[in-house]
Chain A
Amino acid sequence: MATNGHRSPAQRVAYPARYSAFGLLRRGLTHEEWPPAWRAHPLKGSYDVVIIGGGVHGLAAAYYLAANHGITDVAVLDKGYMGSGGSGRNTAILRSNYLTPEGVRFYDRSIELYRTLAADLDYNVMFSRRGHLTLAHNDSSLRTMRWRAEVNKAEGVDSDVIGPAEIKRLAPFLDVSDQTRYPVLGALWHPPGGIIRHDAVVWGYARGADALGVHIHQNTEVTGIDTAHSQVRGVRTTRGDIATPVVLNATAGWATLIADMAGVALPITTSPLQAAVTEPVKPFLSPVIVSGTLHVYISQTDRGELVFGASVDPFTSYSMRGSLEFIEGLAGHVLELMPALSKVRLLRQWAGLCDMTPDFSPVMGPTPVEGFLVDVGWGTYGFKAGPVSGEAMAECIASGRTPEIIAAFGLDRFGAGLLVGEKGAAAVGH
């Protein structure tokens, strides 16, 4: 009889176990244990592809490399556990109502992949498409929203500008009166948006990649990247050296530290972004509410907790400590939108690191060092782009060419002066 998570090798079940209602019932009756979602392997001396960063981007790239291109000699390295960085710290909001046509096409492909992800991975990622409301408190944001709605419609994405009466119908607890400091004038309504369980996405990709032969190495910190003649030769880690011709940097907030090892300069600065969650309350809020003016976004999880996020802290830092001034400001802004929440208590707050770029668009694809690819610059909008980034980077590695969908996001755009300005739509309050 297995106790406390320990079991003998004889008790180990065949891998991978299919998750199903029948399996749940059978294991419930027989008390047979589920096998681990992915296995631990010894670190090999060489891999075809090494992916640094075990978040949703790195794991999705590994999964699509194996699933779409048959490249399975892949290692995913992370200095902590899978999803220990931004993938487990974001507020799990999905949407595709961006401002530039490049951005809208890209994020819409991600939503498309998210829609079928649970079936593709045999893992319940709990995608809840409840709609996404971005509030406008002044004329200029209303104008930007009209612009975004028209770009979205031209790209076939469901978005429209709605008035306060319609907003009140969608979110009855929202104060849309003209008595507030920043009255709500309208909103960008994006029905396909919603929330998802971010840990499940990470675990699902890790499990899927492992089942196809990818090696997942947790607690394996990269200490150096070997290059010769501007070509990647290998990676040095705290658990040993690996020879490899291809390295993908998917390390978000730590991206410049890894790129420095390969001698690649990036236009990225790292800033913390703080978030907080309340105690669970009965379901009362269906759509995701975002206010750029008040620097806050609010959603209610399936468990009833309210998740609050904000804009990045006003200075660069690698510190993930929460601050009291953040929580004070956040609470004030939330109460301005929903005064009825004044008695709800906060459970906890946390911070994640955001790799900010000058144009609020990511940096993806090859670099001047051959074999060293980047999938970085994900700022405050990386989680929702996980699947499409993984798919595109896998294609980029397998074919050696940059796919059309990420062509606008190359590192060379900064030298060429071809920035992709998503500032108006990437997140709140930049």
Chain B
Amino acid sequence: MILLPCSWCGPRDAGEFHQVGEAAARPDPGTATPQEWRAYLYLRANVCGWTTETWYHRMGCRRYIRVERHTETNEIRSVTPADQPTVAGAAQ
């Protein structure tokens, strides 16, 4: 179990959250080519080390947070509020 210190609710069990995924900039749907859009949809850095990602507190405040986590140790370095989901398919 990992504890995720939610910006609004304090430290909570990671099971309360939905991991949205790596924080990535969404290309403009009006101008992006299909290849750019699909790269945004599917390609991931999948870092082994420190990474920045978005989590959704679905069983709590139902808001998004930006988390800096080490993917090998699951250690968490910083948590900040994130107003918008940054990866498609975020809300379940």
Interface residues of A (CB under 8 A from B): 254, 256-257, 265-270, 314-319, 323-325, 358, 414-415, 417
Contact A318 B35 (CB under 8 A): no
Contact B39 A265 (CB under 8 A): yes
Contact A417 B38 (CB under 8 A): yes
Given contact pairs A315-B14, A417-B34, A358 touches B42 in the complex (Cβ within 8 A): yes
Binding site secondary structure of chain A: loop
Most A Cβ at <10 Å: residue of B18, B19, B72: B19
Contact B44 A254 (CB under 8 A): no
Contact of B31 with A by CB under 8 A: no
C-alpha gap A244/B62 in the complex (Å): 52
Mask: chain B, 58-76; 1 = CB below 8 Å from A; 0 = not? 0000000000000111100
Q: Report chain B residues within 8 Å CB of A256.
A: 44-46
Most A Cβ at <10 Å: residue of B14, B48, B72: B48
The size class of the interface chain B forms with chain A is: 20 to 34
Q: Report chain A residues within 8 Å CB of B39.
A: 265, 415
A–B Cβ pairs within 8 angstroms, 6 of them: A256-B46, A265-B39, A268-B46, A314-B15, A318-B71, A324-B1
Q: Report chain B residues within 8 Å CB of A358.
A: 41-42
Nearest to A414 among chain B residues (CB) is: B42
Q: Report chain A residues within 8 Å CB of B35.
A: 415
Most A Cβ at <10 Å: residue of B19, B21, B44, B71: B44
Given contact pairs A315-B19, A316-B71, A317-B74, A270 touches B41 in the complex (Cβ within 8 A): no
C-alpha gap A60/B82 in the complex (Å): 46
Nearest to B35 among chain A residues (CB) is: A415
Q: How far is the CB of A266 from chain B (nearest CB, A)?
A: 7
Contact B19 A318 (CB under 8 A): no
Q: Report chain A residues within 8 Å CB of B48.
A: 254, 257, 270, 318
Q: Report chain B residues within 8 Å CB of A417.
A: 34, 38
Contact A325 B1 (CB under 8 A): yes
Q: How far is the CB of B22 from chain A (nearest CB, A)?
A: 8
Contact A268 B19 (CB under 8 A): no
Contact B72 A319 (CB under 8 A): yes
Q: Report chain B residues within 8 Å CB of A266.
A: 43-44, 46
Q: Report chain A residues within 8 Å CB of B15.
A: 314, 325
C-alpha gap A415/B34 in the complex (Å): 8
C-alpha gap A314/B92 in the complex (Å): 14
C-alpha gap A317/B50 in the complex (Å): 11
Q: A256-B44, A318-B72 are in contact. List 14 more A-B contacts (CB 8 A).
A: A265-B39, A265-B43, A267-B43, A270-B71, A314-B14, A315-B14, A317-B71, A317-B72, A319-B71, A319-B72, A414-B42, A415-B34, A415-B35, A415-B39
C-alpha gap A254/B72 in the complex (Å): 12
Given contact pairs A269-B46, A316-B46, A415-B35, A323 touches B1 in the complex (Cβ within 8 A): yes
C-alpha gap A270/B48 in the complex (Å): 9
C-alpha gap A265/B36 in the complex (Å): 13
Contact B44 A268 (CB under 8 A): yes
